[in-house]
């Protein structure tokens, strides 16, 4: 019986196509990092306009956005790897909603909720100082 099961498994593996490796997920849930700074909007990127920097995959809304990013990725940085800035300040890694953002000091800060964004806006310098201090331990 065991030989029959093993034979069936081998036959199935010979017939079925090999599973493809899992597709790498785009950073910031596929939103275009350039759109925050240039259009002041959260715009979903497209896989056809993609770049990888430091092992992270980004999608862009257009060829021009991709070109701008490729020329100077640091100009379009997303703080705390896209985690909610207010929660990072509290010592937590909380997934953000990429449509909730604030531009400050050349960085885009993302937030998990509108309340988290409002808390950041009430004291951006204090929140950033706390988040910057806690981020190295949360990475």
pLDDT number for residue 23 = 59
Tell the residue number behind the tokens 């204090």, with chain if given. 126
Single pTM value for the model: 0.82
pLDDT number for residue 15 = 39
Average pLDDT, 10 consecutive residues per value, the chain (139 residues) = 36 37 80 97 98 96 98 97 98 98 97 98 98 97
Distance CA 123, CA 116 (A): 11
pLDDT number for residue 25 = 93
Query: Any residues with CB less than 8 A from the CB of 132 and at least 6 apart, and which?
Result: none
pLDDT number for residue 65 = 98
Q: Return the sign of the alpha-carbon dihedral for residues 56, 57, 63, 65.
A: negative
pLDDT number for residue 127 = 98
φ, ψ for residue 7 (rounded to 5)? -60, -40
Tell the residue number behind the tokens 């997303």, with chain if given. 78
Per-domain boundaries in the chain: 23-73, 77-139
CB 115 within 8 A of CB 96: no
pLDDT number for residue 12 = 36
pLDDT number for residue 24 = 79
């Amino acid at each position: 019986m065991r030989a029959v099961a093993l034979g069936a498994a081998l036959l199935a593996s010979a017939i079925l196509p090999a599973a493809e490796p899992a597709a790498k997920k785009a950073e910031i849930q596929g939103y275009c990092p350039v759109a925050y700074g240039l259009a002041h909007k959260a715009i979903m990127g497209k896989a056809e306009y993609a770049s990888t920097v430091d092992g992270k995959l980004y999608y862009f809304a257009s060829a021009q956005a991709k070109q701008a990013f490729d020329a100077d990725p640091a100009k379009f940085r997303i703080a705390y790897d896209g985690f909610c800035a207010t929660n990072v300040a509290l010592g937590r890694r909380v997934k953000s909603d990429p449509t909730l953002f604030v531009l400050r000091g050349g960085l885009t800060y993302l937030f998990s909720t509108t309340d988290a964004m409002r808390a950041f806006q009430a004291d951006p310098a204090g929140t950033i100082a706390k988040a910057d201090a806690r981020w190295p331990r949360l990475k």
